[in-house]
Amino acid sequence: MARNQEKAQALLNKFTSFKKKMKYKNNKNFMIEKKKNLYLLEIYKKSKNKLKSLILILQLIHLNKNIEEKKKLLNHFKSELKNLTKIKNFHPKNSLDLSINYNIQTLSNNIFLIINSYINPILSC
């Protein structure tokens, strides 16, 4: 019985030392994830209020009868959308930062593509 307890204790010790090693190895990945999440959280906080204003602009575009006014509002909408993806004091330091920045820019470009392909033709009618 004591022998089984010793084996169990030895296995437990091996597991805890392995767990500590993994924690150290994963610490770098954790910091990268934390930085990425903070970056995305900042975008979310910034976008939360801006999205409300963007929706209002889209409603104004929809309700407005004057084509020139619609075009002005659309340009304003596009500039607000560009500002949404820009974050101050962010300087990419490594490839992860660059990839996050690239993904945000790609998202922004896709939104512009949707605007140009769907909203602009409606305005031109």
List Cα–Cα distances, 114 to 27, 37, 90, 103, 108, in angstroms: 40, 27, 27, 17, 10
Q: Copy the structure tokens of residue 115.
A: 């605007």
State how far the Cα of 74 lies from the Cα of 41, in Å rounded to an integer: 27
Q: What is the pLDDT of residue 38?
A: 65
**pLDDT mean by block of 10 residues, the chain; 125 residues:** 62 57 55 62 62 70 77 78 59 56 63 67 60
**Entry pTM:** 0.38
Domain ranges of the chain: 29-124
Q: What is the pLDDT of residue 89?
A: 47
Single-letter code of the amino acid located at 67: I
Q: What is the pLDDT of residue 42?
A: 64
List Cα–Cα distances, 92 to 10, 34, 96, in angstroms: 46, 15, 8
Q: What is the pLDDT of residue 74?
A: 78
